[in-house]
Structure 1
Amino acid sequence: MMSFLKEEPPLVCDEEEDWVTIKGNIARITDKALKKYGDIQCKFMDVLRANEFSTSLGVVTTTHTEYNLETSDFFRVYCESENGQFSWESRMAGIRFDEDVINRAGWDRVPKDGLGLNVLMIGLDSMSHMMVQRKLPKVYSKLKSMGAHILDGYNIVGDGTPQALIPILTGRTELELPDTRKRMGSKASTVDVYPFIWHEFKKHGYVTGYAEDVADVGVFTYRLKGFDQQPTDHYMRTYYVDATPMFNQQKPFCYGSLPRHKIMLNYVKDMFRVYEDKPKFMFAFHGELSHDYANKVAVAELDLVEWLEWFQRSGYLNNTMLVFMSDHGQRFASVRDTQQGKLEERMPFFSFVLPKWFDRKYPKMAANMKNNTKRLTTPFDIYSTLMSVLHKDGPRNNNVNKRSISLFNEIPLQRSCRDAYIEPHWCACLKWQPIDVDSTLASGAASKFTQFLNKYNGEYTDLCSPVEVDRIEWATKMAPNEGLLKFHQAADTDGFVPDMSANTKVTVVYLQLKVVTRPANAIFEFSCQYDSETNKYMFYEKDISRINKYGDQGWCIANSQPQLSKYCYCKQQI
């Protein structure tokens, strides 16, 4: 595994510091810039959300000192020195002073049976439990020193970021919610129809915020239709829609003198500064450094540690549940192509930091949280845990058959993937048994897989080349344990001694294969079910992962049928 890791040089941003800085809701021309250039005149223009994919500009405000954010969190700024020989410009983010939000929110509206905590979730895309320890060891150490409860048995329940975050934020899977896929056109709704948990917090007096940085592959906008109405009181997508076109004019991963990851970290800081005395629910999810890279996130380590130290030093941790997490492990990087990487994809980093007083006030809940770090947990459990902040004495769904159990309740030790509603394809607990790639079982599965893909593509278009098997890299089957197959019944009246006389015939097996296909040289991993009595293989599109990049191979359907992009190799290549 270590062969995939390498050192990353630190980011080198502009030497000259930005002329304008933001703290809370106030943007100020810096003393350093004024000392260097004399009187400076800056023109500020608010950046307003038009919709998920475009922005509009407000009126121009000219100042020689500072600018108060009142209409928007985001603005463009252009500054000139007194003699007109020097200029500087940027697109920036802070937290506006919103009087309506100030008046609406308050601790007096928080439920009496709640925990009385802010909720802050900081997420990094594609970081497994182990990768955080490898690439962000100082962050890991800092979290441990803060008393973090790190979930060792956290397991994803689906493929990709939406399937990781939708259960956390709604308590449901995408398939259980109204259809919001872009490709369904007018038949689908915008994701406003989802019962997002931040609505519950807003209803109970919380200020809400959602920040996500990579606008072109947004969690709810890449494949889904996005939001019609702004989802939270403060919504950072508007900034990234406006600022991203400028990024390619900057040094890598910088905007001016500031590393871009600090723009989001500072936005979270400003949220806590402006609403110092108000209950807050905020989710900030950063992807630029880690979505497509296995090593690049290391350049943010010291800034993340500094941010955690600031949060602790400022006293915000005294009434905040801090969640530091990821959605899944690496999916496209080279590490994902290994056995270890396969497991790590399914086991992202997830942790909770609670105030120091929590153990004393709620000893049972704290003990359960600690014990549950060693239990099998899922995104569904995170949803119930977040809901417990509003109602700590809510339903105690710690029955083994319940898929969503608050981490403040004890999760059964004997919980299995099936109990937790984790499908075999995603369960890191399963014991998989290698099978010969030349076996009839493996070759039959590979052949039926390409038939399935060709049929799936053919339902939407005739522009894709037929998919053929080039080779099978490996194949495994999930073998039921011997004890399960031989158990017949209890041999004594107490049920202590088993009767192991059964000879159960296995008729249904789960398979996983890694195959390379022609003509795209596409690499797929998939799960399927094989019924030996009917000699049939059963496939589901959601159980297929393409693990190498496909670039423009599906250019001919990229706009009309984007869901086919990872499967389609256009007959006519660019």
Structure 2
Amino acid sequence: MMRFIYTPVKRCLWCFLIFFLLIMWNNINTRGNEQKIVKEKERYYVNSGRCQMPYVNPFNDEVMKVYKRFQFIPCTNESDMVTLLYDEFMKKYVLHTNEEVVHQMIELNENAVACFYQKIVYGKHADVYDSLGNKTRFNQDYIVSYDVEGMLVECRTADETKVLQKDAFVLVQPPKKVKKIGSHRKPSIIMYGIDTVSRTNLRRTMPMIFEFLKSPGWYEMKGYNKVADNSFPNIFAMLTGFSPETAKTQICDTDLPKCLDNVPFIWKELKRAGYLTAYAEDETGANTFTYSKHGFSKKPVDYYFRPFLTALENNTLTTRCPGCQMKYCLGRRLANSYIFDYCRQFMQRFVASRPIWGMFWSNHFSHDDTFMLSGMEHKILTDLLNFERDGAFEHTIMIFFSDHGARFGPLMQMKEAFLEERQPMMFIYLPPWFRSKYPQYALSLAQNQNRLSSNFDMYNTLKHILRIAKMQKDSKVSWSYDCPKCQSLFYPLPVNRSCSEAAIKEEYCTCHRYEEVRDNTSNWRMAEMVVTRINQYLWQNHLQNLCANLTLRFVNATEVRVDNLDGNLNTKTGLRHYHSKFQVHQNLGEFFATILYNKDNEELKVNVELISRINMYGNDSVCVKNKIQKLYCICLTELKNI
């Protein structure tokens, strides 16, 4: 009987050796050495006539004054009493009881333990589980039936009076219907994402992973620029080619029930082309499609993790790491470990035999503290090494990416905060067979590494892969609705590309040069007017009885745009682009605004809904449900005496 262990992973000797050497290398890596290791020759990520995107030293003196490296925190030090195995011959999962662990825990014979599992029953509504099945006792090497996709496991003493260990597993079972896919080789796509990781912070907190991502076949999109403020609109653009605002007029309002069921997500087209599809996130509260939204009423993909996640959160002991709001451990395992295991099973089961698409997204260890990434470096590196060991990279186009950089916390007080927030990491891997068969696409991807790109280009790239899979005629047609001039990254991007051509608003564009303004009177007046506009916005949305009227407390910094790379510098009207970072009295809320302002006649133009909130606001806005309005509302009931 051939068995492959999914949880936990059996690592071979060379894996341990590499892992040990990498840890030793990382531990002796002093601040001075880090600066030498991460040397970058270019002064700019992008340097063209219409975009100058500056390189930022991840270890500059300003950042290193606040940078702290985290240690990995395990969820348990206990060995697994029950292991989930996969029998390659039978094509079924097996529950194996680890007798040595049993002996160690109860110091009795192997019959002195009774283990049970409960099936997690998939719900009628897509986003929740329906119920738990009856407790089923299992013996050694129990064969799990195909209808079990998730389970809670419990082992007790033989008299069932004492619980010895609880665990949980989620299983990728064979599809009920198998669609014929033909003999043409179709590239599989795996999108492995981590929330709130800028390209600079990746270099700072996970240097070993950055080194791994320099391996042959990997391409870093160094000019990748986000198109919106937070997770949902950035991921939405990548998966649909629409902004939520345009979708509201062209498809439906994503804030309304059942709308997401009708949105043309890329996975729908891939599924029709014969792909098996999967989607998984590790946090229900901050889930991309359910935070301040209604989620899906119908199962959106073939393998949808959220119902099992709700069962895990409700039926296991959940713990949070120090200073975290999100759940760190679900029972004995990291929340992220469930995502990785689900992704790995999905690839191990299918990638060698049929095309698959999956997005596996992790929030819990990166969202609340931007430096906590450093504590997860070895874990994520082991994930990537395991993908490599499985041979998954032989078949798969992998996208290792994020949605944006830090949006609050200590990095927002740095000189390069504007760049940190707007430049998420984006790495794309092309397998050897794809590079060999389509050398022109690999060449274009290499050329595009130092050219301006956006989420809409990424959407077009996914569409391009779909066209390759369907053997459709090669074409440079633009597929993204909200960016007519965007294109696939498998074609050379224009060298002199502007932010507007990539559908990146000035509020998010990192191509332009700003310099500090030292006019305290003008800076204060400008920020004061912006605060007035925020208050007017709250009134226009009938929130004045819920939200406090804001008053300016302090102007942190003001910058004015000094280049004219895109020809939009309006000297005739006197309007100039400014950045204003300021704080209000109410709960010390901090904001960052990009505005058009004429300091001579005090004409000001600002889109309030594009103003960023740059400090953690916790429960400040619990009285408001709308995700955007939450940024500007400080509830009267939550006002603090400061």
What is the TM-score of this pair, normalised by structure 1?
0.87
What residue in structure 2 maps to residue 10 of structure 1? 72
Q: Is the 8 A contact 1:465 1:569 kept in 2?
A: yes
- Specify which of 500, 503, 509 is matched with residue 418 of structure 1: 500
Corresponding residue for 2:635? 570
**DSSP 3-state at the match of 2:361:** strand
1:553 maps to which of 617, 620, 633: 620
Matching residue's letter, 1:395: S
Please say if residues 398 and 412 of structure 1, whose CA atoms lie closer than 8 Å, have aligned partners that are also in contact: no
Match of 1:82 in 2: 158
Relative to structure 1, the CA distance from residue 548 to residue 251 in structure 2 (aligned partners, 3 Å threshold; closer, same or farther) is: closer
State the secondary structure of the residue aligned to 1:408: coil
Per the TM alignment, residue 199 of structure 1 is displaced from its structure 2 partner at its CA by 0.6
Q: What's the % identity of the aligned pairs? A: 24
Q: Does 1:212 align with 2:281?
A: yes
Is 1:452 matched up with 2:514? no
Deviation at residue 98 of structure 1 after TM alignment: 2.8
What one-letter code is carried by the residue in structure 2 that aligns with 1:416? S
1:238-317 to structure 2, matched below 5 A, reads 238-245=307-314, 249-250=318-319, 252=321, 253-276=328-351, 277-317=353-393
Q: Distance in 2 between the 1:247 and 1:436 partners?
A: 55
Contact 2:258 2:297 in 1 (8 A): no
d(CA) in 1 for partners of 2:190, 2:535: 45
Shift of 1:146: 4.1
Instruction: Look up the match of 2:491.
Output: 409
Match of 1:331 in 2: 407
Match of 1:395 in 2: 475
Give, in angstroms, the shift of residue 528 of structure 1. Answer: 2.0
Q: Distance in 2 between matches of 1:208 and 1:307?
A: 20
Match of 2:81 in 1: 19
For residues 3-82 of structure 1, the aligned pairs below 5 Å read 3-23=65-85, 26-32=93-99, 33=101, 38-39=110-111, 40-51=114-125, 54-60=128-134, 61-65=136-140, 66-68=142-144, 70-82=146-158
Deviates more, 1:333-342 or 1:245-254: 245-254
| Offset at residue 554 of structure 1 (A) | 2.8
Tell me whether 1:180 sits opposite 2:253 in the alignment.
yes
In structure 2, how many angstroms separate the alpha carbons of the residues matched to 1:18 and 1:530?
A: 62
How far is 1:351 from its partner?
A: 0.5
- State the TM-score, normalizing by the size of structure 2: 0.79
**Pairwise CA distance, 1:160:** 0.6
- Whole-Å separation in 1 of the counterparts to 2:409 and 2:568: 39
DSSP-derived class of the 2:488 partner: coil
1:542, distance to aligned residue in structure 2 (A): 2.7
Q: 2:423 aligns with which of 341, 344, 347?
A: 347
- Measured against aligned partners, the alpha-carbon deviations of 1:169-214 in whole angstroms (never above 9, x if no partner) come to 00111111134354xx5xx643112110011110000000001111
Q: Does the 8 Å contact 2:409/2:616 carry over to 1?
A: no
Partners of 1:282 and 1:404 in 2: how far apart?
24
- SS class of match (2:507): helix
Which stretch has the larger CA shift, 242-251 or 258-267?
242-251
Letter of the 2:166 partner, please give it.
E
Q: Deviation per CA, 1:508-561: give whole Å up to 9, x if none.
A: 322220111122211000112236798532222331111111122234x145x5
Amino acid at match of 2:586: P
1:94-243, aligned counterparts within 5 Å? 94-100=171-177, 103-104=178-179, 106-108=180-182, 116-178=186-248, 179-182=252-255, 189-243=258-312
SS at match of 2:123: strand
Contact 1:48 1:58 in 2 (8 A): no
| Unaligned segments of structure 2, at least 5 residues | 1-62, 87-91, 322-327
Cα displacement string for residues 42-89 of structure 1 (whole angstroms, at most 9, x for unaligned residues): 132224234365422243233224352533532222232334344322
Single out whichever of 196-205 and 255-264 deviates more from structure 2.
255-264
Kindly tell me the number of residue pairs found equivalent between the two proteins. 543
> Shift in Å at residue 301 of structure 1?
1.9
Code of the aligned partner of 2:84: I
Deviation at 1:292, TM superposition (A): 0.9
Distance, in Å, in 1 between the alignment partners of 2:270 and 2:364 is 28
Q: Tell me if the contact between 2:444 and 2:492 (Cα under 8 Å) persists in the aligned partners.
A: yes
> Secondary structure of the equivalent of 1:551?
coil
- Return 88-97 or 64-73, whichever deviates more: 64-73
On the 8 A contact 2:560/2:579 being kept in 1, the answer is yes
